[in-house]
Amino acid sequence: MKRKEILNRWDIKKSEELYGVNNWGRDYFTISETGELIINPFTEEKGGVSLIDIIQGVEDRGFDMPVLLRFENILDEQISYLNNAFNNAIESLEYKGSYRGVYPIKVNQQQQVVHEIAKFGQRYHHGFEVGSKAELIAVMTEMKDKEANIICNGYKDSEFIDLGLYAIKMGYNLFFVIEMPGEVELILDRGKLLGVQPNIGVRIKLSTKAGGHWTESGGDRSIFGLNMSQVIEILDYLKEKGMLSCLKLMHYHLGSQIPNIRDIRVAVLEAARVYAELVKEGAPMGYLDLGGGLAVDYDGSNTNFTSSRNYNVDEYCIDVIEAVMSVMDNDDIDHPIIITESGRAIVAYYSVLVFNVLDVTKFEQYDIPEELPEETPENIKNLFEVYKNVSVKNLQESYNDALYYRDLIKDMFNHSNISLRERALSEKIYWDLIYRVSGELHKLKFIPPELIDLDDALADIYYCNFSLFQSIPDSWAIDQLFPIVPIHRLNEEPTRNAVIADITCDCDGEINKFIDLHDVKKTLPLHELRTSEDYYIGTFLVGAYQETLGDLHNLFGDTNVVSIRLDGKGSYEFINEIQGDTVEDVLSYVEYNTKDLRASFRENAETAVKAGLITAKERKSIMESFEAGLRGYTYYER
């Protein structure tokens, strides 16, 4: 092998860099020498397991792609990480209060998630935040720890309030957070009736507004929370009723995924001041709840870009504790117990969506004839001339001319002046020309702005077996970026640039924005498909918000889900398997009665028998296919 070839040889380090695995993966993901993506939540190398191995195991057990893999170890690890980071900050800054995290269950309400957090979180007294009766019921059935907190946000009717009061009676540390002034009276009334003293918190509206996608909850115009005069009203009302002893907590929520630590700090300082004033007013207080917002570095850039954050968890904890402490010490107030409602940061890493590639469309070079026939229309001949003369000296000019002639040719076609065959020829020439121009671009010192994205226009389309709307809705709804990486062949150079299309027939079902350290990439480097081998791609950090936001676009339903626990010795166990929706399931979600469906399908088949279109035997086979279809997975099955 020549020296230069050896230098240029692809290796796993290059893949690690290309896909940013070490930047966004929080050390949970690495690449093996054989080019497989490894998941390893342990510090020792031998604990790792290859994702493609797991996928093999999933398929051997009869589950088709796409599949959502959930790694329980990662969930545990993230809970520990956050709690340890707060405890370390508390210790090093000599903060006198403690930290009690709560998990906001709306971020991922799946029973397994809530169950695992309730079980593992017990060692840190990690509790829950709920926003509805349904969520409170889910938590009251899963949570055993009486030292952990339950924070009730959202609008509360008397049924909700009664449930909460009974929880307090049963020994839970439950707080009703007041979002609307009118709620206090009902809570006090129900409490009196049931003989329970409620714990009350107030949700305040800060004037601080953070940047980012999801931060509409903050700021003066926020639809949630109380303004300062409403807080005073409630305070006076509680005093008047002799119930000020109920007021123990203050809460705010700035919004999710706050990329800039400065916004977080400013908000904590403002909130801490309000808290201090409530204490001065005579409320017992004791709990300061800072809401969610702790961001995940989806693109690994460590910046204040919306899909990233310019701080890490340790820095977040230090800043929070420091800010609270500075205000309390200045106002001579006891250090409160600090609550945060981090959801995204706890669960995002936990799930990985894996799908296979079904097909590829390439913009390849066509065979263009040496000469065009004499009778070819003039404008096509002109385009052909431009095509033949492309050189590094005239790239911009050739590109402009190509656009010009392409438009003329299209017009001629619309006016019946050229045939479909001629138009097809012109398109071949056009795309080959673009291909040539793009191939020469790297030779230029300065690439004209118009031509910078030309490569992207030539990207392959990889058709993949999943629904964007069902499995990563935020990618569609708010252009959120997720790391997307092939889970094998990473010791080979990915030679294709591609965008990803999902299996729905919606033109929005496309991913054409990918993570990058400095920018947003429009294409993703992928490997050439092999004829006899499946190609598997993972979408990472999809544990937060995606599952319950997903919808039934084109009636693609829930994917298969497999929960996995690694044993730390390089092996793993399938803890739980949930079969995804069948066709029958999704039809019933949109109110098809499957009994009627069968009957009327049978009727149609019988009519065809009577009309002599099919035989009675054929009717049997048709009914069998129909049954198989109803029972099948909604995605592409092999």
Ligand X SMILES: *Cc1c(COP(=O)(O)O)cnc(C)c1O
Segment interacting with ligand X, rule: CB under 6 A, options 101-109, 327-335, 392-400, 477-485: 101-109
C-beta neighbour count of 116 within 10 angstroms:
22
Segment interacting with ligand X, rule: CB under 6 A, options 114-122, 340-348, 371-379, 403-411: 340-348
Q: Is residue 101 involved in binding ligand X (CB under 6 A)?
A: no
Segment interacting with ligand X, rule: CB under 6 A, options 103-111, 457-465, 477-485, 500-508: 103-111
Q: Which is nearer to ligand X, 384 or 540 (CB)?
A: 540
Q: Which residue has the tokens 């230029």?
A: 444
3-state secondary structure of 537: strand
Report the residue from 342, 467, 480, 539 that binds ligand X according to the rule CB under 6 A: 342
> Long-range contacts made by residues 38-44, C-beta under 8 angstroms, separation at least 24?
39/71, 39/74, 39/352, 39/566, 40/566, 41/71, 41/73, 41/74, 41/77, 41/566, 42/73, 42/566, 42/568, 44/568
Q: Which residue has the tokens 């010490």?
A: 329
Output DSSP code: residue 101.
-
d(CA 59, CA 138): 32
DSSP string, 280-345: HTT----EEE--S-----TTS--SSSTTS-SS-HHHHHHHHHHHHHHHHHHHT-PPPEEE----HH
The nearest distance, CB 571 to ligand X, in angstroms, is 32
**Total residues belonging to the chain:** 638
Q: Is residue 107 involved in binding ligand X (CB under 6 A)?
A: yes
**Residue closest to ligand X, measured at CB:** 292
Report the residue from 341, 460, 474, 502 that binds ligand X according to the rule CB under 6 A: 341
Q: Is residue 541 involved in binding ligand X (CB under 6 A)?
A: no
Q: Which is nearer to ligand X, 12 or 150 (CB)?
A: 150
Contact 126, 102 (CB under 8 A): yes
The nearest distance, CB 216 to ligand X, in angstroms, is 11
Set 246, 317, 505, 507: catalytic member: 505
> Long-range contacts made by residues 418-421, C-beta under 8 angstroms, separation at least 24?
418/377, 418/380
Q: Is residue 256 involved in binding ligand X (CB under 6 A)?
A: yes
Between residue 263 and residue 292, which ones bind ligand X under the rule CB under 6 A?
A: 291-292
Q: Which pair of tokens denotes residue 396? A: 């911009």
The count of residues interacting with ligand X (CB under 6 A) is 16
Segment interacting with ligand X, rule: CB under 6 A, options 310-318, 338-346, 488-496, 522-530: 338-346
Q: Is residue 560 involved in binding ligand X (CB under 6 A)?
A: no
Q: Which is nearer to ligand X, 177 or 402 (CB)?
A: 177
The CA-CA-CA angle for residues 459, 465, 469, to 5°, reads 90
Segment interacting with ligand X, rule: CB under 6 A, options 67-75, 250-258, 390-398, 499-507: 250-258
Q: Is residue 249 involved in binding ligand X (CB under 6 A)?
A: no
Q: Is residue 218 involved in binding ligand X (CB under 6 A)?
A: no
Report the residue from 279, 294, 433, 526 that binds ligand X according to the rule CB under 6 A: 294
Contact 338, 290 (CB under 8 A): yes
| Strands 337-339 and 287-289, sheet pairing | parallel
Q: Is residue 547 involved in binding ligand X (CB under 6 A)?
A: no
The nearest distance, CB 365 to ligand X, in angstroms, is 48
Between residue 61 and residue 90, which ones bind ligand X under the rule CB under 6 A?
A: none
Q: Is residue 253 involved in binding ligand X (CB under 6 A)?
A: yes
**Helix-, strand-, coil-residue percentages of the chain, each rounded to 5:** 45, 15, 40
Element (H, E) at 417: none
DSSP string, 486-531: ESS-TTS---EEEEEE-SSS-TT-EE--B--SSS-BSSEEEPPP-T
Q: Is residue 100 involved in binding ligand X (CB under 6 A)?
A: no
Q: Is residue 260 involved in binding ligand X (CB under 6 A)?
A: no
Q: Is residue 113 involved in binding ligand X (CB under 6 A)?
A: no
Q: Which is nearer to ligand X, 104 or 483 (CB)?
A: 104
Q: Which is nearer to ligand X, 296 or 358 (CB)?
A: 296
Segment interacting with ligand X, rule: CB under 6 A, options 253-261, 302-310, 474-482, 488-496: 253-261
Q: Which is nearer to ligand X, 218 or 483 (CB)?
A: 218
The nearest distance, CB 253 to ligand X, in angstroms, is 4
Residue 505 annotated as catalytic: yes
The nearest distance, CB 106 to ligand X, in angstroms, is 6
Q: Is residue 153 involved in binding ligand X (CB under 6 A)?
A: yes
Nearest to 632 by CA among 574, 585, 571, 577: 585
Which residues on neighbouring strands pair with residue 539, listed in sequence order? 353, 484
The nearest distance, CB 343 to ligand X, in angstroms, is 3
48-to-19, 44, 45, 355 alpha-carbon distances in Å: 19, 8, 6, 21
| Strands 287-289 and 247-251, sheet pairing | parallel
3-state secondary structure of 141: helix
Report the residue from 20, 164, 343, 550 that binds ligand X according to the rule CB under 6 A: 343
Report the residue from 293, 473, 538, 550 that binds ligand X according to the rule CB under 6 A: 293
- Contact mark string toward ligand X, 6..35, x via CB under 6 A: ------------------------------
Contact 285, 277 (CB under 8 A): no
Nearest to 575 by CA among 57, 201, 29: 57
Q: Is residue 115 involved in binding ligand X (CB under 6 A)?
A: no
Segment interacting with ligand X, rule: CB under 6 A, options 341-349, 402-410, 449-457, 482-490: 341-349
The nearest distance, CB 111 to ligand X, in angstroms, is 19
Q: Is residue 523 involved in binding ligand X (CB under 6 A)?
A: no
Handedness of CA 424, 428, 429, 430 (dihedral sign): positive
The nearest distance, CB 255 to ligand X, in angstroms, is 7
Q: Is residue 259 involved in binding ligand X (CB under 6 A)?
A: no
Q: Is residue 121 involved in binding ligand X (CB under 6 A)?
A: no
Which residues on neighbouring strands pair with residue 302, listed in sequence order? none
Q: Which residues bind ligand X (CB under 6 A)?
A: 104, 106-107, 129, 153, 253, 256-257, 291-294, 341-344
Catalytic residues: 505
